[in-house]
């Protein structure tokens, strides 16, 4: 059981920020990643569609014999976590709770900002989770739809990034928050530019936070992998492996090999 892989899925390439943090913290763990590149973005879709897609991605990974499922996508974590937990008899971790808990640990004035896709912000998953843990907290939310495409274009610093950051985050900057959750897989790549604009505001990277939860959960369930051989990292995509590799390597800072294109229809998952 310990040697079984951890399954990680995302709507596309962005979840590699989560894979990177898990790999950094737990280098002995075998990892299988699925990027649903044929249907990205999830962030503009209805809750029903996000749930349907998430169940299909989870089924693909489940059939690979994973010991734990990590939902790297904030949009999917916001909307489909409960359904996934009901449908699969393995532990399922999303990014919302780890991000919320970390923000509450870091904030001094209990005023927290959250940025994410339209679907994540509309779901109110972050404010609900934060207030559930600490009802005294105030949460200010903002969707930042242009952040995903600019990161995928490799624009993470410079004039264009600065202008878009200012446009989305001016209100947040003036709102008196002392902590901001980067509630989308792509936003950690903009961390430097966002930090420059928001100076003293703490930035919470939900990718880092979820990696710590993965470690805790595996320890608790005595499922940590202590293999001597090198860990395996396998990547699957539902479309365009070359594009995934090119952009993914910007996210990861290491080379992606072991990549395969799969079809959810051929796998019998989409009927
Ligand atoms: N992975 C998504 C998220 O974290 C961003 C990209 C998308 O909209 O699918 O919300």
Q: Taking the chain, what is the end-to-end CA distance rounded to the nearest angstrom? A: 30
pLDDT at 232 over 80: yes
Could you give the 3-state DSSP secondary structure of residue 15?
A: coil
Active site residues: 73, 184
| Residue 117 CB less than 6 A away from ligand 1 | yes
Residues β-bridged to residue 202: 179
The mean predicted confidence, pLDDT, of the chain is: 96
Domain CATH for 132: 3.40.50.1860
| Residue 54 CB less than 6 A away from ligand 1 | no
Q: Whose CA is nearest to atom 2 of ligand 1?
A: 73
pLDDT tens-digit map of 233-265: 999 999 999 999 999 998 898 899 899 999 999
Contact 19, 8 (CB under 8 A): yes
CA distance 115 to 173: 12
Report the separation in Å between the CA atom of 73 and the middle of ligand 1, taken as the mean of its atom positions.
6
Domain shared by 106 and 79, yes or no: no
In a domain, 84, yes or no: yes
Domain that holds residue 25: 6-94+209-261
Instruction: Check residue 71 and give its pLDDT.
Output: 98
Q: Kindly state the percentage of the chain with pLDDT values over 90.
A: 93
| Residue 74 CB less than 6 A away from ligand 1 | yes
Domain shared by 34 and 111, yes or no: no
| Residue 144 CB less than 6 A away from ligand 1 | no
Domain shared by 174 and 243, yes or no: no
In a domain, 268, yes or no: no
- For a substitution probing ligand 1, which of 44, 75, 147 has the most ligand atoms within 8 Å of its CB? 75
What values do phi and psi take at 34, rounded to 5? -120, 125
Contact 4, 218 (CB under 8 A): no
In a domain, 270, yes or no: no
Domain shared by 30 and 127, yes or no: no
| Residue 11 CB less than 6 A away from ligand 1 | yes
Domain shared by 117 and 77, yes or no: no
Number of separate domains in the chain: 2
pLDDT at 22 over 80: yes
Could you give the 3-state DSSP secondary structure of residue 136?
A: coil
Q: How does residue 93 score in pLDDT terms, banded at 50, 70 and 90?
A: very high
- With a CB cutoff of 8 Å and minimum separation 6, the contacts of 4 are 30, 65, 66, 67
| Residue 120 CB less than 6 A away from ligand 1 | yes
Domain shared by 26 and 40, yes or no: yes
Report the separation in Å between the CA atom of 105 and the middle of ligand 1, taken as the mean of its atom positions.
25
Q: How does residue 91 score in pLDDT terms, banded at 50, 70 and 90?
A: very high
Report the separation in Å between the CA atom of 11 and the middle of ligand 1, taken as the mean of its atom positions.
6
- For a substitution probing ligand 1, which of 153, 184, 237 has the most ligand atoms within 8 Å of its CB? 184
Domain shared by 100 and 198, yes or no: yes
Domain shared by 81 and 144, yes or no: no
Last residue of a domain, one of 159, 174, 206: 206
Domain shared by 178 and 221, yes or no: no
In a domain, 269, yes or no: no
Domain shared by 213 and 89, yes or no: yes
pLDDT at 268 over 90: yes
pLDDT at 18 over 90: yes
Contact 130, 104 (CB under 8 A): yes
Instruction: Check residue 143 and give its pLDDT.
Output: 98
Instruction: Check residue 271 and give its pLDDT.
Output: 84
Instruction: Check residue 78 and give its pLDDT.
Output: 98
The answer, yes or no, to whether the previous bond of 41 is cis (omega within 30 of 0) is: yes
pLDDT at 104 over 90: yes
- For a substitution probing ligand 1, which of 38, 73, 150, 207 has the most ligand atoms within 8 Å of its CB? 73
pLDDT at 228 over 80: no
pLDDT tens-digit map of 122-168: 999 999 999 999 999 999 999 999 999 999 888 999 999 999 999 99
Domain shared by 187 and 235, yes or no: no
Helices (H) and strands (E) in the chain, counts: 11, 10
- With a CB cutoff of 8 Å and minimum separation 6, the contacts of 31 are 5, 6, 8, 19, 22, 23, 231, 232, 233, 234
In a domain, 266, yes or no: no
User: Helix H segments across 88-117?
Assistant: 96-106
pTM given for the model:
0.96
Domain shared by 61 and 104, yes or no: no
Q: How does residue 227 score in pLDDT terms, banded at 50, 70 and 90?
A: confident
């Amino acid at each position: 059981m310990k040697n079984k892989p951890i399954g990680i899925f995302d709507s596309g390439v962005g979840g590699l920020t989560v894979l990177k943090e898990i790999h950094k913290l737990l280098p002995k763990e075998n990892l299988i990643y699925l990027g649903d590149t044929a249907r990205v973005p999830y962030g503009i879709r209805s809750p029903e569609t996000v749930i349907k897609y998430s169940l299909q991605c989870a089924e693909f990974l489940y059939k690979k014999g994973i010991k734990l499922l990590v939902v790297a996508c904030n949009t999917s974590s916001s909307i489909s976590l409960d359904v996934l937990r009901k449908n699969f008899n393995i532990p399922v971790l999303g990014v919302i709770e780890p991000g919320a808990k970390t923000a509450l640990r870091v904030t001094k004035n209990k005023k927290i900002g959250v940025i994410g896709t339209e679907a994540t912000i509309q779901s109110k998953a972050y404010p609900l989770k934060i207030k559930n843990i600490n009802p005294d907290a105030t949460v200010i939310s903002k969707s930042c739809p242009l952040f995903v495409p600019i990161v995928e274009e490799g624009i993470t610093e410079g004039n264009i990034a600065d202008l878009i950051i200012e446009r989305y985050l001016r209100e947040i900057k003036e709102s008196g928050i002392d902590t901001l959750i980067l509630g989308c897989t792509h936003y950690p790549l903009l961390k430097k530019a966002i930090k420059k604009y928001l100076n003293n505001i703490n930035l919470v990277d939900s990718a880092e936070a979820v990696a710590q939860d993965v470690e805790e959960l595996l320890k608790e369930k005595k499922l940590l992998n202590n293999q001597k051989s090198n860990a395996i990292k396998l990547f699957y995509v539902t479309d365009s492996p070359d594009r995934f590799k090119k952009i993914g390597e910007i996210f990861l800072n290491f080379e992606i090999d072991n990549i395969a294109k799969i079809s959810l229809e051929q796998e019998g998952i989409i009927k």
